Structure 1
Amino acid sequence: MDLNLRKAILENVTDNDKSQLEATIVDAIQSGEEKMLPGLGVLFELIWQQSSQTEQQEMLDALEQGVKQAH
């Protein structure tokens, strides 16, 4: 991903509180638009970087289950 895109996405959410961040995530998922995927990816990157190894393992477990259920 282009670093300018990452920077733009981060600048768009820098001052958002929890409820605004949640609304952004929910809206992106519900819209199902491909153009929202880079933003979700940047947000996930932040979550991943701020998480402990235990939390990362929990996310991987949830992701694995989600992938299995999607098929």
Structure 2
Amino acid sequence: MNLNLRHAIIQNVASNTKEELEDTIIDAIRSQEEKMLPGLGVLFEVIWQNANEDEKEEMLSNLKDGLQKQ
């Protein structure tokens, strides 16, 4: 992913409230549009980079469990 795209995505949502961020995530998932995947990836990258080791382990467990249900 181009760093300019990453920066643009972050700048686009940086001032959003928690509710607006939640709406953005839910809308992106519900739309099931491929073009939304880079944005979700950038948001996940921010989450991952700001998580401690316990939070990362929980995310990985949730991801593994969710993937097994697919």
- The TM-score normalised by the length of structure 2 is 0.98
Q: Distance in 2 between matches of 1:55 and 1:11?
A: 25
Aligned residue identity for 1:33:
E
Matches within 5 A, 1:42-61: 42-61=42-61
1:8-45 C-alpha deviation (Å, 9 max, x unpaired): 10111011010000000000000000000000000000
Which consecutive residues of structure 1, in runs of 5 or more, have no partner in the other structure? Answer: none
> Would you say how many aligned residue pairs link Structure 1 and Structure 2?
70
Q: Structure 1 stretches (4+) deviating beyond 6 angstroms?
A: none
Q: Which residue type is aligned with residue 42 of structure 1?
A: V
Give the TM-score normalised by the residue count of structure 1. 0.97
Q: What is the Cα deviation at residue 3 of structure 1?
A: 0.2
